[in-house]
Chain A
Amino acid sequence: MIPAAFDYYRPKKMDDVIALLEQHGDDARVMAGGHSLIPMMKLRMAEVPHLIDLQDIEGLSDISVEGGKITLGAMVTQHDLINHAGLTAAAPILREAALQIADPQVRYMGTVGGNVANGDPGNDMPGLMQCLDAQINLVGPNGTRSVAAREYYEAAYMTDREDDEVLVSISFDTPSGGFAYEKQKRKIGDYATAAAAVQIVKDGGKVAAASIAMTNLSDVPVWSEGACDALVGTSCDAAAMKAAAAAMLGDIDPSEDNRGPVAFKRHVAGVILTRAITRAWDRA
């Protein structure tokens, strides 16, 4: 499996990355860990005449947990996420989700930025970031801007990011309450048949706030406002969970593939969401 030839760049400064992207337009792409991009290039499903490796750009691998805010540099790996004690204490859902991605070798290379930027509906981090209401921070020729994760995804592999922009970090408020990342997959290392990211805040025995996002059940991640609303104000009993699952099923649009037909995926989505809500509520 030999990918098409390319010119390789490993700049040290972000300005140089952006200059290369401006110069080569569509023909250039950045590479983070390469664990989505290289397999696509090997299959020749992606052709990248100008490949810009981000590994030498400084300051992209920082994790900051401070003053109620969490910021993850784009080049933070899944391995880093799993092993950062302060982050796990502040936002344990990240570790729970990262441990369900791929395998140890892939997690050493795969980055948060790459996972969020890629736009593959199978990636786990986009739904997670929607659940956390994260901001995606980009830099381009005209400076920096932020986009809400809930607004970022347009279609499979199509995001709000312009070709000459680079994702530099992802930031969100420290979540509170109970959490769960639940994922159904055929084997370790597989993408989700269905996955759910859930955060629930409990107050006086009732759901005070809920955030629910689903993965690999549409061509984009799905943050289900209807499912959240169905839980708020209830005691998270069976009826409320059923209503939340029904609302979520109204928001997803899975397609048939080698993970199963549509009816099966809808069934699994309901089961996974109910499990995730149950676990998040227990922990709230």
Chain B
Amino acid sequence: MTEKMHIKLKVNGEDKEFLAEPRELLIYALREKLNITGPHVGCETSHCGACTVTLNGKSVKSCTMFVAQANGAEITTIEGIGTPDALHVLQESFREHHGLQCGFCTPGMIMRATKLLEENPTPTEEEVRFGMAGNICRCTGYQNIVKSILAAASELNAAKEAAQ
């Protein structure tokens, strides 16, 4: 076993420090060291997107990153975007439009969608499907996920216009 490293992360605005072997995958550091269990392990092979988090402004699959590689990074997970009393627009929209059934894929879906709407605030349906292509859902058939994201986009844009 190699020596443990001193890891520092900023997760959902909070500074975290812990020891970990460099080979530990970021998803396990989040879930098991920090008890941040929103990001899920679906496939563990970079295919399903259930483990998606935002890291230094990028959507990444946290099962395909060593914790050592993430050292020093700023990370946002599903826990960091809303609270049960004040849901994020996308969380509210997924609830409203039945964008989830079992909910296993949802944390990854919503984290990827937050970034997608930053990259492209007015996506077409096709652009939503293409931009969400790294996230797999075994329940919904995607229709309501796409609907939820498009509805959240309209809502965010309406709010932006109202503010101007």
Contacts and interface: CB of A to CB of B under 8 A. Distances in A.
Interface string B12-52: 00000000011101000000000000000000111101001
A1 B44 contact: yes
Contacts, number: 79
Contact of A31 (B5, B60, B69, B116): B69
A272 B68 CA distance: 41
Contact of B22 (A6, A39, A79, A105): A6
Interface in B99-136: 112, 115-116, 131-134
Contacts of B116: 104
A51 B68 CA distance: 10
Nearest to A8: B22
Interface string A173-194: 0000000000000001100000
B46 A106 contact: yes
B2 A104 contact: no
B2 A5 contact: yes
Interface string A124-137: 00000000000000
Interface in B33-91: 44-47, 49, 52, 58-61, 64-66, 68-69, 71
Contact of A109 (B45, B60, B112): B60
B23 A105 contact: no
B1 interface: yes
Interface residues of B, number: 30
B65 A38 contact: yes
A41 B66 CA distance: 11
A8 B5 CA distance: 9
Interface in B123-157: 131-134
Nearest to A187: B133
Contacts of B66: 8, 34, 38, 51
A41 to B, nearest CB: 8
Contacts of A103: 49, 133-134
B133 A51 contact: no
Interface in A1-20: 1-8, 10
Given A104-B116, A105-B60, A108-B60, A6 B65 contact: no
Interface in A136-195: 188-189
Interface of B: 1-2, 5, 21-23, 25, 44-47, 49, 52, 58-61, 64-66, 68-69, 71, 112, 115-116, 131-134
Interface of A: 1-8, 10, 31, 34-35, 38-39, 41-42, 51, 53, 55, 79, 102-106, 108-109, 188-189
29 contacts: A1-B44, A3-B23, A6-B22, A7-B2, A8-B2, A31-B69, A34-B65, A34-B69, A35-B46, A35-B64, A38-B65, A39-B45, A39-B46, A51-B22, A53-B69, A79-B58, A102-B134, A103-B134, A104-B116, A104-B132, A104-B133, A105-B49, A105-B52, A105-B61, A105-B134, A106-B46, A106-B134, A109-B60, A188-B133
